[in-house]
Chain A
């Protein structure tokens, strides 16, 4: 069946961050964007006001609003969309599609929401203490307030279900691991999968014949994924999003013995220690005046602590590229995506410095020239193509939901 023969459906995609709500209405199957926007500073106290930046058919509007939580942000967004619909009958939606971070081992593919699914999702709330309750709240809200509109949940973990046991198993007692469903689950799967597909389209390659290392480097979370012939085989994030790279406020890889020692020495409860490693560590922990790597980069020439923080961030990305190069036996493509991966040429240059032995050889001129869209920044001699690709999780979520709706 070709696209033009498929039924049209408008999908409202909801993508929650810890303090943001991104949304888009996409006309599927083509993916034309009707509405997009982002509610910022949701549920947090900051100096600036909470606001929603809202685009209808590309026309921008900024609305200040009190947004004490994500449900109130969604209510406000839905009001704005209802208002737009009165002026333009094309602005409507037939289904909700949510990004859901951590379904544990309960779900390995996208699902349509019903009562049973909601009950199962409820059990996953403790797995991602920040993200899951937010998304769950919205799904429940839509389920009760918009019962007649179908809802789909797309999981950030589904792409990683192909990670083989040798990389997914922690070397802990297997009776404990099995009882509590503990294994490497991996995250950012929607983004890694999107950039994989875009890279292969761009290079005109069959994804089942490519070995890819994808670096999703965001101002919030960051992760690296090893993709072998279209399938994820490893992710730097683990059972939770705390493992792996250093992130804005998350510690990433750390000696668990150090965690025990701090809890013991400082008399922290496990909740306090968890909160410190989730919210006060990473870039913020090392640099203290900001959790944003771009601020670190700004201070790199004069501030020793900025330099160490940046070097640590870079080293950890390089370490995973080194590891994944070994398990893939050299990558065909290395991808940089998300705000830092796309936004900082210095970061890309530092990560790729002296990497030729492992495959990637960056062309510095092309790297600094990068403006937008998909762009190749490797030298002609590079064994591994290096691409910068802005991610688009929303279109990927809409595609998944659309596919799921066609199934039913």
Chain B
């Protein structure tokens, strides 16, 4: 049995993969972090999931690996030395996650624990994409640069491309990210140093004129905390429409509510900005791949984006697209730019990556 663990500060999601008669069966387990706050409770929870099966490995999705992790890593003492150096950059995340991983390490002494990072894929971003045009000493001292995000999805999408292909990979998750891939390496990415930059989300703003921040602070006396809170938690779809609802409900209001329509138009424009950037950086486009936990939900948006850029050489199939496969093709065979939708779940990708990691 292999366990894939995806946890943030609120929730722990575990998918267990078990081989039964030569095929893999997966099952999901979700708990609030509060319930497994104590080390003993967490260990009991894991043992309950495993039952009598032997755990071959436990893999973790880790949100941030800084400069230290250019790929998956075995969680051992060397791992902790490096991971804990990232506390300064991600102070709310690194200490509790590190504590939890140490607990795992102490209990499951003989089992390989593997960390997969959302940022590793982007360590090879070219310098001209990585840095912001601010005084270089601030970027150096504070490690302010684009770290990127959704590297596990983008990297899986990159692996679906032929080596020479110029591809754009788009992930619909809580955040939406767009990444240009050539030679299976990232050349650009929309999400930057924090999740604020790039494409808007349910509550975050996406691209924003920094002059607005200063205007609100200097002229209208907003505090930095008020603006930070506003741009993170009160902007995006919720800020534009005034409706504090989920994206699935938001999607249902498309075509019925002018504010919702405008919000989706802005969202599409932000996605197109990064597709356009990617194409110009690569000097062409052969493939587009969409993925992420919301990718099925966002089919109408994907269709909309593809229609807008179809003049580039896309022959987009009419909706509905086939639903039953892991990989859905959205353009017809004669389309000069091939478009696919990778519906694989993040945990399934990490499971697959774990198997190949263990082979090595």
Chain A residues engaging chain B, CB cutoff 8 angstroms: 126-127, 165-167, 169-176, 180, 182, 184, 238-243, 246, 251-266, 270-271, 273-274, 276-277, 280-286, 288, 305, 308, 311-312, 314-315, 318-319, 321-327, 329-330, 353-358
Contact = CB atoms under 8 A, between A and B. Distances in A.
B281 A174 contact: no
Given A261-B144, A358-B279, A252 B133 contact: yes
B133 A239 contact: no
Contact of A171 (B205, B281, B312): B205
B220 A171 contact: no
26 contacts: A126-B215, A127-B215, A166-B269, A167-B269, A171-B266, A171-B270, A172-B205, A172-B208, A172-B240, A173-B230, A173-B234, A175-B242, A180-B216, A253-B207, A255-B197, A256-B196, A258-B194, A258-B197, A259-B213, A261-B142, A274-B218, A276-B134, A285-B136, A315-B128, A327-B276, A353-B283
| 8 tightest Cβ-Cβ pairs between the two chains A and B | A240-B211, A257-B194, A322-B280, A354-B283, A238-B209, A322-B276, A323-B276, A255-B197
Nearest to A282: B133
A239 B215 contact: yes
B131 A180 contact: no
Say what secondary structure dominates the interface of chain A. helix
A399 to B, nearest CB: 29
B311 interface: yes
Contacts of A263: 224
Contacts of A323: 272-273, 276-277
Contact of A173 (B239, B266, B268, B284): B239
Interface in B207-251: 207-220, 224, 227-228, 230-231, 234-237, 239-240, 242
Nearest to B311: A329
B60 to A, nearest CB: 25
Contact of B230 (A176, A184, A326): A176
B311 A174 contact: no
Contact of B239 (A126, A174, A282, A353): A174
B85 interface: no
A277 B134 contact: yes
A260 B193 contact: no
Given A166-B262, A243-B211, A324 B276 contact: yes
B132 A171 contact: no
Interface in B270-295: 270, 272-273, 275-281, 283-285
Contact of A264 (B133, B210, B224, B265): B224
Nearest to A127: B215
Interface of B: 126-129, 131-136, 138, 142, 144, 146, 188, 192-197, 200, 205-220, 224, 227-228, 230-231, 234-237, 239-240, 242, 259, 262-263, 265-270, 272-273, 275-281, 283-285, 308-309, 311-312
A261 B138 CA distance: 10
A260 B219 CA distance: 17
Contacts of B144: 258, 261-262
A257 B195 CA distance: 8
A261 B237 CA distance: 24
A312 B209 contact: no
Contact of B196 (A170, A257, A285, A305): A257
B283 A169 contact: no
A354 B166 CA distance: 13
Nearest to A354: B283
A277 B215 contact: no
Contacts of A184: 209
A288 B136 CA distance: 8
Nearest to A325: B276
Nearest to A251: B133
Contact of B280 (A284, A330, A355): A355
B110 to A, nearest CB: 41
B245 to A, nearest CB: 15
Nearest to A323: B276
B197 A281 contact: no
Contacts of A173: 230, 234-235, 239, 242
Nearest to B263: A171
A273 B128 contact: no
B58 to A, nearest CB: 32
A357 B138 contact: no
A260 B224 contact: yes
Given A170-B208, A254-B132, A265 B281 contact: no
B127 A311 contact: yes
A315 B129 contact: yes
A169 B276 CA distance: 19
Given A257-B194, A288-B136, A242 B224 contact: no
B237 to A, nearest CB: 8
Given A246-B133, A255-B193, A270-B218, A166 B266 contact: yes
A324 B275 CA distance: 11
B217 A270 contact: yes
Contacts of B205: 170-172, 256
B280 A258 contact: no
B212 A182 contact: yes
Nearest to B265: A166
A322 B265 contact: no
A261 B90 CA distance: 11
Contacts of A273: 214
A325 B239 CA distance: 29
Contacts of B200: 171
Contacts of B218: 126, 270-271, 274
Given A254-B210, A270-B218, A286-B131, A261 B279 contact: no
B209 A239 contact: yes
Given A270-B224, A318-B280, 20 more contacts: A126-B218, A165-B265, A172-B212, A180-B215, A180-B216, A240-B211, A240-B215, A254-B132, A255-B146, A258-B134, A262-B138, A264-B224, A273-B214, A274-B211, A285-B133, A286-B133, A318-B277, A326-B279, A354-B284, A358-B280
A227 to B, nearest CB: 16
Contact of B211 (A169, A174, A242): A242
Contacts of A243: 209-211
Contacts of A260: 194, 224, 227-228
Given A255-B194, A357-B284, A169 B219 contact: no
Contacts of A274: 211, 214, 218
Nearest to B126: A311
A339 B308 CA distance: 35
Contacts of A171: 200, 205-206, 235-237, 239-240, 263, 266-267, 270
